[in-house]
């Protein structure tokens, strides 16, 4: 077991390195190989334990940034370390179950477990990405966000197809290494040549096909209408943003930067999540100043703001993390309240039902989820807004595009987490939304990383962290619908079907041994015993 734990820990380290801060993404294709060697002769129970430990150490490292939140009370901070471990323990369960299931099913079907592993990992990745606690952070496919040609398959399969490919490559490389070890000394015989060629072919196909897919997309982009957008990265210090005394400073920062941005024609100015940390709808002075600014600049303004409404049935106010669109002359034309809140960050699930933590401030907000996605309309051009980590959920972007969005905006504030890997991890996940939907994305963050993402997944003008910046770019407005946009996670459904069939075959095969004799036809009974 000592050898297995060492190898599993090596997988934890490799998985940590393929994501930001380090972004050593080529290691993704060998990151699971040590884990494969560690579990190859283990029982199911030990396989589960080793895979769980490997995932636990990986997620603890990946989510290290959670403890940087400056909003928590000092005595609560040690609890954040416990929180990271609890989240890591939870997420690791999906990894452990997928590998234990791969070992079990592979053994029953008499096929190598590494052939089964890609199916199991994709299914359990999908499961952990949905529901109230859905959190797809660390899905292997996201590690390749910078390899543009390789991720084009996402327009058909979503990020799950890229994850499947990575896990499959790990299995093939593991098997190749095993073959080399069993056939030492190494000689380039025809069987070895064929094995190496097959592995290289599986590795090369997605980027080569992706390169072919890029050509028509780029041609469409060159013929598409353009929209000029400026992203205003105000870099307001976290502690000042909610301070009443700095409200005017906050306003003047965005006012000044916006006036600088329109030295060239700009159709839309985008300010980040809660750029104006007060209730603009109910602040007539600041609302009129925002409208005046839009009129002066002849540009629409999309800004993040808090909002609230009164709920008469519950006799209380409901608070929302919102985005307002302010157009010249028209003023506030539409708003969107964030519908998918960050669990434990913007809302503590079931906190009001747990007495001993009901009144503890863990640094989370008390927002209310808004209604469904809405479409902003600006001079005949439709678009939608994803607030903060809504960009990590493909179903949200898909729904917005299905309603007619020609481009997407992502406003966020990642300034809570210092110079950790959080900002880059978050930003790179949005790349997949652009590829899946073939829509340009304008991403505006308070302290970085702001950037434009083309429908190909290419990142344009990324900003550094903690620097006041203005970036402007003309984005193409595409109107086509991808396979993924039309059919969603059909790839995952096919993976599920492909997994269910062998399970059903095993179940049917075992039925005569498990059912009571009275349930069996007479021909299956021989001298009072079940005839197999």
Residue 351 has pLDDT above 80, yes or no: no
CATH topology of domain 224-486: Nitrilase/N-carbamoyl-D-aminoacid amidohydrolase (3.60.110)
User: For the residues 380-404, what does the mean pLDDT come to?
Assistant: 96
Mind listing the pLDDT tens digit for each residue in 8-49? 999 999 999 999 999 999 999 999 999 999 999 999 999 999
User: For the residues 459-466, what does the mean pLDDT come to?
Assistant: 96
Residue 193 has pLDDT above 70, yes or no: yes
The residues with which 382 forms a beta bridge, in sequence order, are 377
The string of DSSP letters for 247-307 reads HHHHHHHHHHHHHHHTTS--SEEE--TTSS-S-GGG-HHHHHHHHHHHHHHT-EEEEEEEE
User: Do residues 436 and 154 lie in contact, with contact meaning Cβ atoms separated by under 8 Å?
Assistant: yes
Cα–Cα distance measured from residue 443 to residue 427, given in angstroms and rounded to the nearest whole number: 8
User: For the residues 430-455, what does the mean pLDDT come to?
Assistant: 97
Predicted local confidence at residue 516, as pLDDT: 54
* Phi, psi for 229 (deg, rounded to 5): -125, 135
Predicted local confidence at residue 525, as pLDDT: 46
Min mean pLDDT across 165-174, 247-256, 511-520 is at 511-520
Min mean pLDDT across 114-123, 354-363, 371-380, 479-488 is at 354-363
Mind listing the pLDDT tens digit for each residue in 63-76? 999 887 666 666 77
User: For the residues 236-261, what does the mean pLDDT come to?
Assistant: 86
* Catalytic residue status for 103: no
Min mean pLDDT across 50-59, 313-322, 407-416, 481-490 is at 313-322
* Phi, psi for 407 (deg, rounded to 5): -150, 165
Task: For the chain, give percent helix, strand, coil, nearest 5.
Answer: 55, 15, 30
Cα–Cα distance measured from residue 369 to residue 87, given in angstroms and rounded to the nearest whole number: 22
Distances (CA, A) of 303 to 95, 179, 232: 39, 58, 10
Predicted local confidence at residue 519, as pLDDT: 46
Predicted local confidence at residue 349, as pLDDT: 67
Residue 239 has pLDDT above 80, yes or no: no
Min mean pLDDT across 88-92, 141-145, 234-238 is at 234-238
Going edge to edge, which strands form the sheet with 407-412?
A: 376-378, 381-387, 407-412, 441-445, 451-453, 459-460
Pick the catalytic residue from 60, 385, 388, 444: 388
User: For the residues 409-429, what does the mean pLDDT come to?
Assistant: 93
- Six-digit token pair at 324? 């307002």
* Catalytic residue status for 283: no
Residue 302 has pLDDT above 90, yes or no: yes
Q: Which residue has the higher pLDDT, 345 or 280?
A: 280
Cα–Cα distance measured from residue 457 to residue 205, given in angstroms and rounded to the nearest whole number: 18
Min mean pLDDT across 3-17, 57-71, 386-400, 417-431 is at 57-71
Q: Which residue has the higher pLDDT, 92 or 241?
A: 92
Burial 370-381 (b: 16+ CB within 10 A, else e): beebbbbebeeb
Predicted local confidence at residue 75, as pLDDT: 72
Residue 52 has pLDDT above 70, yes or no: yes
H or E element, residue 216: helix 190-223
Pick the catalytic residue from 338, 346, 385, 444: 338
pLDDT classification of 520: cutoffs 50, 70, 90: very low
Percent of all residues in the chain with a pLDDT value above 90, rounded to a whole number: 74
Predicted local confidence at residue 503, as pLDDT: 84
Q: What is the mean pLDDT of the chain?
A: 90
- Six-digit token pair at 376? 């902003």
* Catalytic residue status for 388: yes
CA-CA-CA-CA torsion sign (48, 51, 54, 58): negative
């Amino acid at each position: 077991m000592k050898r297995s734990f060492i190898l599993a820990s090596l997988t934890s380290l490799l998985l940590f390195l393929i994501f930001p801060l380090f972004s050593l993404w080529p290691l993704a294709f060998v990151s699971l190989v040590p884990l494969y060697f560690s579990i190859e002769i283990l029982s199911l129970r030990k396989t589960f334990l080793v895979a769980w430990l490997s995932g636990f150490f990986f997620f603890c490292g990946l989510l290290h940034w959670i403890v940087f939140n400056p909003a928590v009370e000092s005595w609560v901070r040690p609890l954040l370390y416990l929180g990271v471990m609890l989240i890591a323990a939870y997420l690791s369960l999906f990894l452990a179950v997928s590998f234990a299931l791969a070992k079990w099913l592979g053994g029953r079907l008499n096929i190598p477990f590494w052939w089964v592993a890609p199916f199991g990992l994709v299914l359990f990745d999908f499961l952990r990405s949905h529901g109230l606690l859905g959190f797809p952070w660390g899905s292997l496919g996201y590690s390749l966000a910078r390899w543009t040609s390789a991720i084009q398959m996402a327009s058909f399969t979503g990020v799950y197809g890229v994850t499947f490919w990575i896990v499959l490559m790990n299995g093939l490389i593991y098997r190749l290494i095993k073959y080399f070890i069993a056939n030492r000394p190494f000689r380039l015989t025809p069987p070895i040549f064929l094995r190496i060629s097959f592995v290289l072919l599986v590795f090369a196909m997605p980027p080569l096909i992706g390169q072919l897919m890029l050509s028509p997309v780029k041609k469409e982009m060159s013929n598409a209408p353009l929209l000029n957008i400026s992203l205003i990265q105000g870099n307001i210090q976290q502690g000042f943003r909610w301070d009443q005394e700095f409200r005017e400073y906050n306003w003047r920062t965005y006012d000044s930067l916006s006036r600088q941005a329109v030295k060239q024609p700009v159709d839309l100015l985008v300010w980040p999540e809660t750029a104006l940390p007060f209730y603009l709808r109910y602040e007539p002075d600041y609302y009129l100043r925002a409208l005046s600014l839009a009129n002066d600049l002849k540009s629409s303004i999309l800004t993040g703001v808090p909002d609230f409404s009164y709920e008469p049935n519950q006799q209380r106010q409901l608070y929302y993390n919102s985005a307002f669109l302010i157009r010249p002359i028209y003023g506030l034309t539409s708003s969107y309240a964030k519908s998918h809140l960050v669990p434990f960050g913007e809302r503590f699930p079931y906190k009001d039902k747990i007495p001993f933590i009901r009144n503890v401030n863990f640094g989370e907000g008390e927002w209310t989820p808004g209604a469904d996605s809405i479409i902003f309309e600006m001079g005949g051009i439709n678009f939608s807004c994803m607030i903060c980590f809504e960009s990590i959920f493909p179903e949200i972007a898909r729904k917005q595009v299905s309603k007619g969005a020609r481009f997407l905006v992502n406003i966020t504030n990642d300034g809570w987490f210092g110079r950790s890997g959080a900002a880059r991890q978050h930003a790179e996940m949005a790349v997949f939304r652009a590829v899946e939907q073939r829509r340009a994305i304008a991403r505006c963050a308070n302290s970085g990383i702001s950037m434009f993402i083309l429908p190909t997944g290419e990142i344009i003008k990324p900003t550094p962290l903690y620097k006041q910046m203005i970036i402007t770019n003309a984005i193409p407005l595409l109107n086509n619908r991808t396979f993924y946009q039309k059919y969603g996670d059909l790839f995952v459904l096919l993976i599920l079907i492909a997994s269910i069939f062998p399970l059903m075959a095993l179940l049917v095969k075992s039925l005569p041994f498990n059912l009571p004799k009275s349930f069996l036809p007479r021909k299956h009974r021989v001298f009072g015993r079940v005839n197999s």
